[in-house]
Amino acid sequence: MSQMKSIMSMMELSSIACFCIFLAFLINLVIKFVLPSSVAERKRLPLPPGSLGWPYIGETFQLYSQNPNVFFASKQKRYGSIFKTHILGCPCVMISSSESAKFVLVTKSNLFKPTFPASKERMLGKQAIFFHQGEYHYRLRKLVLRAFTPDAIWNRVSDIESIALDCLGSMEGRVINTYQEMKTYSFNVALLSIFGKDEVLYREDLKRCYYVLEEGYNSMPINMPGTLFHKSMKARRELAGILSKIISRRRRRRRNSSSSSSSSSSDLLGSFMDLREGLSDEQIADNVIGVIFAARDTSASVLTWCLKFLSEYPSDLQAVTEEQEAIIRKKGKEAKRRLDWTDTRQMPLTSRVIQETLRVASILSFTFREAVEDVEHQGYLIPKGWKVLPLFRNIHHSPENFPEPHKFDPSRFEVAPKPNTFLPFGSGAHSCPGSELAKLEILVLLHHLTTKYRQAVCTTNFRLRQRSKHMLWSMMSSENGIQYGPFALPLNGLPIRLSLRTQHQ
């Protein structure tokens, strides 16, 4: 009997073994012939070449403490157009070709959700438009565009002009840090676009909290007392409280008003508070903070670089000045009349200077995306959860896309650049919805800066000081450096002194 049981057990084990072999054979057939081959191969795909640097810290300091051109170019030279790294606590894949940028941002955008490092995501708020795709993102983008399209901002020119004149007036006769002053200007324009003319009621409180918050945007997400991240998160909570009070005040005003149609469309807050959209206070606050973040530093950086490049290229400055003066002459007896939307559409030379500034300076060196699943690209595996960074700076500085890429030449934009090679505002469904507002505020300020003021960059150089008596703009070589972290900026924020032009200048 025991021998029979032993034989039976052996037969059962044999049957199980045969079944397992047969099952493995079937699975192999399914993988080979039924499933797409890329799924089977993906498990064997290598990661892109590159280095992840130190544990956790990665290569964050190497990127943010030096010329980003050096960091990106050295990586690209060593590893090619796609390579891995590790920044701000995240494993990343960086891509530096226009074709790959299109793949991530447009063609296969559904595989890459917009994102930021953990520190910035927590500071902006998880409900902000940057971190979503699909229906929620579509709704938010529609609301932002409602407030920022040309049809929405054409009647704000006069209000933006008032902010520009106040900004320039406060700068007269003193040495200023151009970047810091332009940040103030861009911040005030952003508040105008978000809160309408009521922004003056909240400006100082919002400024106080937001300025502390932004200091921690590129910090490590270590929320311990004494860290920059902890300090910024505390300011973020206070900022959310101020925004909650503003939203409540707007609701009370709506209830007391016989019609809410104007308030629901005249500014971004009104658009967000549209009852048909049903956004919560938290969603509104996160997106307001996100818009301020997107609008402030980038516009300020572009303006600062515009002044620097115009200082270095007198012929371009002369062309811009003549174009702006021609707009004034066209007004004739109405010369004191404020700028209007039509005027801003008659500045093609100035617009090309802005475009070339965006290209050469590449304020946004890259953008963040995150793979929502394992993705194969160019024979490499991009693992689910890894950040993917299209490198706009590399694309803008490629000689294949722009001959003599390091030369400042606005005339190159007399002809439209090749598709997917000029991406200062991103591309695809997640491109910057506020690009038209950014261009408008830059045009308005440059109009008054070139027609009302003369600029001399602070200098102790006698030769340049003598030249500045005969030139509208001058630049001193010792102030010609660049500083980094996180944006590339002229050294010391481009210190200048503004003085009103005399009638014969």
Each residue's pLDDT tens digit, 213-254: 888 877 777 888 888 889 999 999 999 999 999 999 888 887
| Per-residue model confidence (pLDDT) at position 501 | 77
The mean pLDDT value for 44-61 works out to 83
- From the list 90, 138, 142, the residue with the least C-alpha distance to 368 is 90
DSSP string, 88-136: TTEEEEEE-SHHHHHIIIIITGGGEEE---HHHHHHH-TTSGGG--SHH
Q: How far from 91 is each of 50, 154, 223, CA to CA, in Å?
A: 11, 43, 21
| Per-residue model confidence (pLDDT) at position 231 | 92
Eight-class DSSP state of 485: S
> What tens digit of pLDDT does each residue of 361-407 get?
988 888 889 999 999 999 999 999 999 999 998 999 999 999 999 99
Structure tokens at 7: 């034989």
Asked if residue 131 belongs to a domain, the reply is yes
> What tens digit of pLDDT does each residue of 445-472 get?
999 999 988 755 554 443 444 444 333 4
Asked if residue 482 belongs to a domain, the reply is no
Asked if residue 136 belongs to a domain, the reply is yes
34: pLDDT strictly greater than 70: no
Asked if residue 116 belongs to a domain, the reply is yes
For residue 498, with 0-12 CB atoms within 10 Å meaning exposed, 13-18 middle and 19 or more buried, which class applies?
buried
Confirm whether residue 18 is marked as ligand binding.
Answer: no
Total domain count for the chain? Answer: 1
At a CB cut-off of 8 Å and minimum separation 6, what does 440 contact? 153, 156, 157, 160, 344
For residues 39 and 45, the answer to whether their CB atoms sit within 8 Å is no
Asked if residue 467 belongs to a domain, the reply is no
Structure tokens at 394: 């590399």
CATH number of the domain residue 287 falls in = 1.10.630.10
The mean pLDDT value for 93-122 works out to 88
- From the list 486, 272, 268, 286, the residue with the least C-alpha distance to 368 is 486
| Secondary structure (3-state) at 502 | coil
274, containing H or E segment: none
Asked if residue 346 belongs to a domain, the reply is yes
Task: Label each residue of 451-470 as H, E or C.
Answer: HHEEEEECCCCHHHHHHCCC
Which residue's structure tokens are 């980038």? 298
* Beta-bridge partner residues of 454: 499
Structure tokens at 182: 């332009």
- From the list 277, 259, 251, the residue with the least C-alpha distance to 129 is 277
Asked if residue 159 belongs to a domain, the reply is yes
Distance CA 235, CA 124 (A): 12
For residues 166 and 187, the answer to whether their CB atoms sit within 8 Å is no
The mean pLDDT value for 334-350 works out to 86
Range of the domain at 365: 62-298+338-438
Structure tokens at 108: 């296969």
> What tens digit of pLDDT does each residue of 268-304 get?
998 898 877 788 999 999 999 989 888 888 899 999 9
Structure tokens at 118: 């953990």
Eight-class DSSP state of 48: P
Asked if residue 9 belongs to a domain, the reply is no
| Secondary structure (3-state) at 84 | strand
- From the list 424, 214, 119, the residue with the least C-alpha distance to 299 is 424
| Per-residue model confidence (pLDDT) at position 470 | 34
Averaged pLDDT of the chain: 81
CA 294 to chain CA centroid, nearest Å:
6
C-beta atoms surrounding 481 within 10 Å: 10
| Secondary structure (3-state) at 299 | helix
Query: Torsions phi, psi of 380, nearest 5?
Result: -115, 160
Compute the C-alpha angle 356/360/361, nearest 5°: 110
